[in-house]
Amino acid sequence: MTRSALCSVFAVVCACGSADGGAGESGSDTTAVDPGDPPYDRLSDWGFFEGALVDQQPAEGVISYTVAAPLWADFAGKGRYMRLPEGGKIGVTEQDEWSFPEGTIFIKTFFFDTDRSDDADAPRIVETRLLIHETTGWESYIYLWDDEQVEATRIKGGADVDLAYVDAEGQPATQLYLVPDQNTCEDCHARDDVARVLGPTTHQLNVDAPADAPGAGNQIDLFSELGLFEVSPGPAADLPAFTPPAGDGDLALRARSYLHGNCAHCHRPGAGGGPSGLSFLYWEDDPAKYGVCKVPAAAGGGAGGNQVDIWPGDPDRSIVPFRMRTTDPEIKMPELPSLLADDFGADLISEWIAGMTEPPCE
């Protein structure tokens, strides 16, 4: 995307040059650096947050939201926000992605507990990712935070970050975390060669809003109240929803919600893992398509000696949990950038498989 094309999306911002926002008319502020045109080099220049950037306090018009079945990312906690352009509205479909007007920005911040033995520790923010709906489609940007937690700077090539933390037993520990390369975003975000937003779907957003949202209660009802939709989809209670994987809902629904949130962006027709024939869409109702007794397209070491993706009643004979538990980058699922296995997710899927009552595979 060229700078001028981006400027046409942000015509208002480009025309007035500096857009720090919210600071008021302070006259001649000689210390301010002209941020130039978007995409800005510094995260603060977007004006997404009020006060100290590290506090991630959404500014007017920036809406904090959450998803029912979040993506595992090596223990990262996440803040999710969206900003619609002036007067812009959301188009809703019941099942899959919603549509957003040009100029919409999605913001996702990744942070880590510095002390995993203490719930009240100060998190360390590592990166903030943006997806911006430009004239060319959804474009990706990454901002890497400084150690002082004052500013984040735009990078393109990814980064290896060594995180020092205190583990759950109170011992010092370190973790390598990979900030992905800007070119790898589409491994997950593109389908049929078109980049997309992944979280904003009816199933994912049909949960309670986070504490820093501009209102309380169910998120879809809140969006209706705020007038964000072209046409309100009606009461959230009448709409489909994922069952939060870490909650206490039905086991199969939690497992299927987890697999959709963590795997279906690749494992569905048209996406990167589509050719394997495995589909983890929540609404896929053919057990053979979501792995039951399915022989993998490409066998070999990646199967752990197992014959099928899911052997009903026997997780130890199933490829799916095997590939979720390994950290061998050639075998592990999901593929990079995450380096670590999600034990919670692998246990959930194993428990679901153990309880399956379909007949054993031939």
Provide the binding-site residues for ligand HEC, judged by CB under 6 A. 67, 70-71, 80, 106, 108, 129-131, 140, 142, 180, 182, 184-185, 187-189, 197-200, 262-263, 265-267, 272-273, 276-278, 294, 296-298, 302, 309, 319-320, 323-324, 333-335, 337
The residue (of 166 and 339) whose beta carbon lies closer to ligand HEC is 339
Short-list 336, 349, 348, 352, CA closest to 74 = 336
81 and 91 Cβ atoms separated by less than 8 Å: no
Token pair recorded at residue 230? 């072209």
CA dist., res. 232 & res. 326, Å (int): 44
Phi, psi of 360 (to 5 degrees): -60, 160
Of 211 and 298, nearer to ligand HEC (C-beta) is 298
CB of 169 to ligand HEC, least distance (A): 27
Answer whether the bond into residue 321 is a cis peptide, omega within 30°: no
Alpha-carbon dihedral sign for residues 38, 71, 271, 198:
negative
Backbone phi and psi for residue 171, each to the nearest 5 degrees, phi listed first: -95, 145
In the complex, what is the shortest distance from the CB of residue 322 to ligand HEC, in angstroms, rounded to a whole number?
8
Give min distance, CB of 82 to ligand HEC, in A.
7
Q: Which is nearer to ligand HEC, 54 or 255 (CB)?
A: 255
Least separation, in Å, of the C-beta of 317 and ligand HEC? 13
Residue among 41 and 167 whose Cβ is closer to ligand HEC: 41
Residue 154, strand partner residues = 143
Strands 172-179 and 190-191: unpaired
Minimum distance of ligand HEC from residue 20's CB (angstroms):
22
Q: Per the omega criterion (within 30 degrees of 0), is the bond before 244 cis?
A: no
Kindly state the smallest distance separating residue 13's Cβ from ligand HEC, in Å: 19
Q: Which is nearer to ligand HEC, 102 or 167 (CB)?
A: 102
Nearer to ligand HEC by Cβ, of 14 and 198: the residue is 198
Which whole-number Å values give the CA distances from 360 to 71, 95, 155, 294, in the listed order? 31, 32, 50, 12
